[in-house]
Amino acid sequence: MKKENYVIGVDYGTDSVRSIIANAANGQEVASAVFYYPRWKEGLYCDPGTNRFRQHPLDYLEGLEQTIVRCLQQAGPAIAANIRAISVDTTGSTPVAVDETGTPLALLPKFEKNPNAMFVLWKDHTSVPEAAEINTHAEKYDTNYLQYVGGIYSSEWFWAKLLHVLREDAAVREACYSWVEHCDWIPFVLTGGNKAAEMKRGVCSAGHKALWAAEFGGLPPDSFFTELDPLLKGFTKKLFTNTYTADKAAGTLGAAWAAKLGLSTDVVIGVGAFDAHMGAVGGQIEPYHLSKVMGTSTCDMLVAPLNEVDGKLVKGICGQVPGSVIPGMMGLEAGQSAFGDAYAWFKKVLTWPMQQVLAQTTLVNSETAKALIEETADKLIPELSKQAALIQIDENSELAVDWFNGRRTPDASQELKGALTGLNLGSDAPRMFRAIVEATCFGAKAIVDRFNNEGVPVKGLIGLGGVAKKSPFIMQMMADVMNMPIRIHKSEQTCALGAAMFAATAAGIYEKVEDAMNAMGQGFDATYYPDKTKVALYQQRYKKYHNLGGFIENSIKHKEKEKAFSN
């Protein structure tokens, strides 16, 4: 009997980590497990009011061990004995300060409760001033060091976050040997790495967030950063020059983790990448088809043959990096800073009375009150979607802008705010929810328009992730607004499955990731087609969305000018 090979894909999301074991021959999922970060769930080390979102490395390590062990228990010893490789994807840019051994400072007793010593989550926007400084500073140079990240550096990214932490915390600054992305650190941990200088960095994180480019010979020169702020002097030497695509091996499983997991030290550990990039592969991305990973935010991936996009630079996106999605092809990234988060915000607003008032009721016992609150909260979005789908709108119905967590693309600006307008006494919760959903779809259309206008055509849409799978209402509106069909991938774990595909390639089971994608892909189980009777109305409302967005943007710019003048 032919021995079957199995691989593990690990997907670190914003709220949880999930692992799957997949059959490398056909992608069949034989086990899965999810771990919700306990410290993050309690809101520790975060301050939403100042846009500070930090995660403790223990959440990541505990989740890594528990999900893989549970998967192996589900699969049984026969499958566990045939695990060939593990690959990992994470959110990003989610970097952390490490010491010379590659240990995050928060794992040291001195820093265990210091948020600045923890991972700075992708949606942390505390470094807005630093990002603005980087953008202004880059204009001084003949070489445009921002050209491969859409021309605008974001507060969500590597260098802005590093500079903010170095400025804010002297103790962390003194102890920080290097600055490391989450997706590079986990493979380093699994391989038993103990020297930060030897860590293999992925081209995905390096190119899209850290300004690495082959055309620059690596990172921009040290002088670029030193002239920005002397605190960055010499930092490039502590980082990296070489980068690796995710189809390569970072090493093999170290003895300590092999013992924890009950696996062989022969298990290959793949180079890490971001969740959306591996998710696009798990979702069977095709050239010029925009792969939309839709969760708390969206990450939109597009791949194109290198020779067909040579010399084209798409302004205002999150970068274009050869090999960041599929080795040998250009990977282009865009996305929205809030997607599911916008719906979650509205849900939080609506459940506030229950959380604060019903929790105090004396009519029922506390356990019953708690159960009522949880049941209502769980049913809220599905019921809002059902009622919103029945609403007949016109050009002047309630209108929203989706920048509740700033704008990622096109043209990053994390200072922008969301809006809801056109309200009257008949504006109820379903109407407001419908406007918010419409705004997220308009934000998605703005990304497609930017690609098209910059000469990189979007020929199709692929929907991935929780929102794509669970909300027909949102996906139908997406098709109507885009005036394009959107295919929904069958797998509910496309990011973890994509990681498994890369693991199979890194282990040599497949020669290239396209082969793994073709063999292990699960296909599509739904397609939403645009309702042609609604397209014209959405086009009218899309213009109003842009006008409202322009008003918000100009208002914020005016406030900034007034502030600068007063200073």
Task: Give the CATH number for residue 51.
Answer: 3.30.420.40
* One domain, residues 542 and 465: yes
> Would you state the pLDDT for residue 273?
98
Whether 312 maps to a domain, the answer reads: no
**Residue 566 pLDDT > 70, yes or no?**
no
pLDDT tens-digit map of 180-234: 999 999 999 999 999 999 999 999 999 999 999 999 999 999 999 999 999 999 9
* One domain, residues 43 and 153: yes
Could you give the number of structural domains in the chain? 2
* Mean pLDDT of the residues in the chain: 95
**Residue 168 pLDDT > 90, yes or no?**
yes
> Would you state the pLDDT for residue 564?
57
* One domain, residues 511 and 553: no
> Would you state the pLDDT for residue 465?
86
Whether 418 maps to a domain, the answer reads: yes
pTM of the model: 0.91
* One domain, residues 229 and 112: yes
Q: Is 547 exposed, middle or buried (0-12, 13-18, 19+ CB in 10 A)?
A: exposed
Whether 290 maps to a domain, the answer reads: no
* One domain, residues 495 and 559: no
* One domain, residues 44 and 93: yes
* One domain, residues 152 and 166: yes
Whether 41 maps to a domain, the answer reads: yes
* One domain, residues 393 and 264: no
Q: Where are the alpha helices (DSSP H) in 42-157?
A: 57-75, 77-80, 128-138
In angstroms, the CA 312 to CA 207 distance is 16
> Would you state the pLDDT for residue 311?
87
Q: Which residues neighbour 143 within 8 Å (Cβ) at sequence distance 6 or greater?
A: 216, 220
CA 397 to chain centre: 32
Could you tell me the residue range of the domain that residue 442 belongs to? 340-488+532-566
> Would you state the pLDDT for residue 359?
84
Q: Which residues neighbour 433 within 8 Å (Cβ) at sequence distance 6 or greater?
A: 343, 346, 384, 385, 388
Percentage of the chain lying above the pLDDT 70 cut: 98
Q: What is the mean pLDDT of residues 292-321?
A: 93
In angstroms, the CA 380 to CA 369 distance is 16
First to last CA, the chain: 77
> Would you state the pLDDT for residue 1?
32
In angstroms, the CA 439 to CA 465 distance is 19
* Beta bridge pairs of residue 178: 98
Beta strands in 104-210 (DSSP E): 119-120, 178-181
* One domain, residues 408 and 506: no
In angstroms, the CA 262 to CA 466 distance is 31
Of 266, 268, 316, 356, nearest to 88 (Cα)? Answer: 268
Whether 321 maps to a domain, the answer reads: no
Report which secondary-structure segment, H or E, holds 41.
helix 38-41
* One domain, residues 363 and 428: yes
Percentage of the chain lying above the pLDDT 90 cut: 93
**Residue 64 pLDDT > 60, yes or no?**
yes
> Would you state the pLDDT for residue 562?
67
**Residue 148 pLDDT > 90, yes or no?**
yes
**Residue 440 pLDDT > 60, yes or no?**
yes
Whether 207 maps to a domain, the answer reads: yes
Whether 318 maps to a domain, the answer reads: no
Whether 17 maps to a domain, the answer reads: yes
* One domain, residues 517 and 453: no
Residue count of the chain, please give it: 567
Which pair of tokens denotes residue 412? 């990053």
Q: What is the mean pLDDT of residues 102-113?
A: 98
In angstroms, the CA 405 to CA 52 distance is 12
Handedness of CA 516, 519, 525, 530 (dihedral sign): positive
* One domain, residues 19 and 152: yes
Q: What is the mean pLDDT of residues 17-42?
A: 97
